[in-house]
Amino acid sequence: MKRTLLCIILLVLPIALSAQTHRQQQGTIVRMRMTECLGPQHGFMATMSGDAKGETGQLCPEYVLVADKVVYVINGKSSEQLIPLAEETRFRLHKNEMLIRIDDAAKESRFRIKAMVLRPEWDRNQMLEEAESNAMATRHLDPSTIREQ
């Protein structure tokens, strides 16, 4: 009986994990910039051969997408691969790529995942950046700073 149960768990676990990865999630795109496109060679072999960047000279969009628990940095594969900057973006993960269905497009668009950061860490960094920026602005208007100058 125990052995049967173990077999069932071993069979079901990968399916459950896979389902977790494939389920639809949603997030918000908070940053966007155009950056060098990554060439087709962008993987383990490219890294080992010392040609990890594989830049093509073209510019591709790079987005920061903030989801519930993770913040993703994703890259489009061409300059035309632009995501509408709606408040909410629905996506799912599949084989180290993020799949986003844009509007009513027939196929999902595939984006490379460049980096992932846990949400609390990202939030903390954002707060630090904001505090630094506010401090700089306050310093500009501080009467003591004015006297120093």
Partner 1 sequence: MATPIPCRRPWPLVTLFLVSAGMAPASAGNPREFTYRTDAAEVRLTFSASDQSHHGVANLQPSDFAVVDKDIIVRNFQSFTRTDSTKLEIAILFDASGSVSPHFRQETADVLNLIAQTAGIPDENLSMFSFQEMQPALLCAGNCRALRAAGQLPTGRAAGLTPLFDAIVFASDYLSRRGDAHAEKVLIVFSDGVDTISRHSLRDAVDASLRSEVQLDCIDLNQRSTASQGPAVLRGFANATGGRYFPAPDGGIRALNAILEDFRTSYSVSYRLPSRAAGFHAVRILPTHNRNLQFRSRSGYYYPNRVQ
**Residues of this chain that bind partner 1 (CB under 8 A):** 29-33, 82, 84-87, 102-103, 133, 136-137, 140-141, 143, 146, 149
Q: Which is nearer to partner 1, 33 or 94 (CB)?
A: 33
Q: Which is nearer to partner 1, 12 or 127 (CB)?
A: 127
Two structure tokens written together for 8:
């069932």
Q: Which is nearer to partner 1, 68 or 87 (CB)?
A: 87
Q: How far is the CB of 41 from partner 1 (least distance, A)?
A: 26
Q: Which is nearer to partner 1, 1 or 136 (CB)?
A: 136
Q: How far is the CB of 102 from partner 1 (least distance, A)?
A: 7
Q: How far is the CB of 28 from partner 1 (least distance, A)?
A: 9
